[in-house]
Structure 1
Amino acid sequence: MQKALSTLIASVRATHPGQILIVTGAGVSHASGIPTFRGTDKDAIWKRDVTELGTYRFFSENPAGSWQWYLSRFDKLEGARPNPGHLAITALERFQLARGGDFLLVTQNIDTLHEQAGTQRMIKVHGSSDRYRCSEPDCALGAPEGSIAASEVDLTAFRKEPVEANVPRCPSCGGLLRMHVLWFDEYYAEHRSYGWQAVCRSAEEDAQLVIFAGTSFSVGVTDLVLRSARMRNVPIFNIDPAPRVSGDGVMSISAGAEVVLVEVCKALGLAMS
């Protein structure tokens, strides 16, 4: 681990004035008490067969069931706070930008911990738990651009009686609201807030150093970034307690981001606050 860590620190130092691209998955938030998806922890969400529930098809067939299922998971995010891994990413962003470099965080996570930690240059490629949107395609609060803050939606009636008649309605057109998340039967380009064009540009052109943290490499965005970085011979690091990808241009570090990235910040003399 120490050799790989030293190489990572040297790579961060050397990426100037180029772009550092960090891609985070659920593992980054695990130290904040949020269950992973495909991880080994006992509460891993994918152990409960979400490939059927996390779909537009399920929502269209059972909107109340979809809302109930998602709220039960979003409720687990309440009170979660950024862990040292989140804070280290923000510190690395400040460091890179202060010396005239470029930085981008692409997170698969829908929680708000990166925002709470202060990261600015970020794309939430799978959506966000703090926003909903209209399910009607022609509504200004629906795809491809619209959404509404979750704090503006009254869920009292639905939480009291979770039936379809109480599913929250769009304040603009009266259509059913839905979660502002990328479902398994949808595409990255369906909503502009997912930032897919910017992700592609970073992966295929701009990134000079790629750091994966806490991801299982099981979705399209990780495939794109990994494949593009390999084709361009960009340095690639994979930080995870049980890394699933290594070799062929990828240097893996078997530890959590809350350990590895903190050590990187220490070596660079960066404050995490």
Structure 2
Amino acid sequence: MTRIVVLTGAGISAESGVPTFRGADGLWEGHLIEDVATPEAYERDPDTVLAFYDARRRALRTVVPNAAHLALARLEGAIGGDLLVVTQNVDDLHERAGSRNLVHMHGELRRALCLACGSRPAWDEDLIDRPACPDCGERMLRPDVVWFGEMPYELGRIENAVVAADVFVSIGTSGAVYPAAGYVALASAFGVRTVELNLEPSDAAVPFDDARAGRASELVPAWVDEVLSARRAGAERR
């Protein structure tokens, strides 16, 4: 049995046409980060923030999973619960590819968060018109997206999975945003083999055991093939 934790970032979805988190000009899809991705921004100008995420949610309808998402779903189909995918992405491309053992540590565009009752209902419509929460009826829904200064979801589960894994794989992430950026160091400290599949080497403070540069749509299927081939070979030896 080989337990694998995969961390995915913006790079895995970029090939599907989902804009990466931050451009070379420091802007997030033309906006300053502090204007659309902080609780203070929401308090200061909720309409701008809601319109920004409404547009991003609608844009999801125009993109589809790529070969990297599909390969991870194929791996889960083969090894089941021995694979956990942790994504920093708020899109739903992993789900649409077929992944089910999945943690969205930064929330999901296709969910809302009710500030009145704390529920996180599935949500596909715009929020700017202040619709009512389906659970409590209050009109206090915001995007269920973790903003700067907020705590990511399920950190305890993620950390426990990383230290108990045999292999930790980072795909399409810069290695610059914490706490996710610290997982390679955590994995290394517990003797977990670490692999990076990225367009270019990340800024991770601790080197990966195996670092491969290239497109996620090419690297991830090839790596999955290697894992499944080794698994079959091991089964035959037994």
TM-score when normalising by structure 2: 0.85
2:92 alignment partner in structure 1 = 112
Q: Distance in 2 between matches of 1:253 and 1:240?
A: 6
Q: Distance in 2 between matches of 1:269 and 1:207?
A: 19
CA deviation digits over 1:27-76, x for unaligned, max 9? 10111111111366x99736632234211111122221210121122222
2:105 alignment partner in structure 1 = 125
| 8 A Cα contact 2:10 2:20, kept in partner | yes
TM-score when normalising by structure 1: 0.75
Alignment counterpart, residue 148 of structure 2, candidates 173, 181, 184? 184
- Deviation, 1:245, is 3.7
Q: Distance in 2 between matches of 1:21 and 1:44?
A: 30
1:150 alignment partner in structure 2 = 123
Amino acid paired to 1:109: N
2:174 alignment partner in structure 1 = 216
1:28 alignment partner in structure 2 = 12
1:6 alignment partner in structure 2 = none
Alignment counterpart, residue 59 of structure 1, candidates 17, 22, 42? 42
Q: Distance in 2 between matches of 1:27 and 1:244?
A: 11
Q: In structure 2, do the counterparts of structure 1 residues 238 and 51 end up closer, same or farther at CA, with 3 Å as the change threshold?
A: farther
Q: In structure 2, do the counterparts of structure 1 residues 256 and 263 end up closer, same or farther at CA, with 3 Å as the change threshold?
A: same
Q: Which runs of 4+ in 1 moved over 4 A?
A: none
Amino acid paired to 1:179: P
Secondary structure of 1:185's aligned partner: coil
2:165 alignment partner in structure 1 = 207
Amino acid paired to 1:236: T
1:73 alignment partner in structure 2 = 56
- Deviation, 1:269, is 5.8
Q: Distance in 2 between matches of 1:235 and 1:71?
A: 39
Unaligned runs of 5+ in 1: 1-16, 189-193
1:169 alignment partner in structure 2 = 132
Amino acid paired to 2:91: D
Alignment partner of 1:243 is 2:226:
no
| 8 A Cα contact 2:84 2:102, kept in partner | yes
Q: Answer 1 or 2: higher relative contact order, Cα 8 Å, separation at least 6.
A: 1
- Deviation, 1:181, is 0.8
Q: In structure 2, do the counterparts of structure 1 residues 95 and 221 end up closer, same or farther at CA, with 3 Å as the change threshold?
A: farther
> Number of residues paired by the alignment?
227
Give the aligned CA root-mean-square deviation in angstroms: 2.5
Amino acid paired to 1:121: N
Q: Distance in 2 between matches of 1:56 and 1:231?
A: 34
Amino acid paired to 1:168: P
| 8 A Cα contact 2:170 2:197, kept in partner | yes
Q: Distance in 2 between matches of 1:63 and 1:176?
A: 11
Q: In structure 2, do the counterparts of structure 1 residues 262 and 116 end up closer, same or farther at CA, with 3 Å as the change threshold?
A: same
112-121 or 212-221: bigger deviation: 212-221
Q: In structure 2, do the counterparts of structure 1 residues 222 and 67 end up closer, same or farther at CA, with 3 Å as the change threshold?
A: same
| 8 A Cα contact 1:36 1:43, kept in partner | no
Q: Distance in 2 between matches of 1:262 and 1:187?
A: 32
Unaligned runs of 5+ in 2: 231-238
Identity %: 29
Q: Distance in 2 between matches of 1:208 and 1:46?
A: 37
| 8 A Cα contact 2:114 2:142, kept in partner | yes
Q: Distance in 2 between matches of 1:173 and 1:266?
A: 49
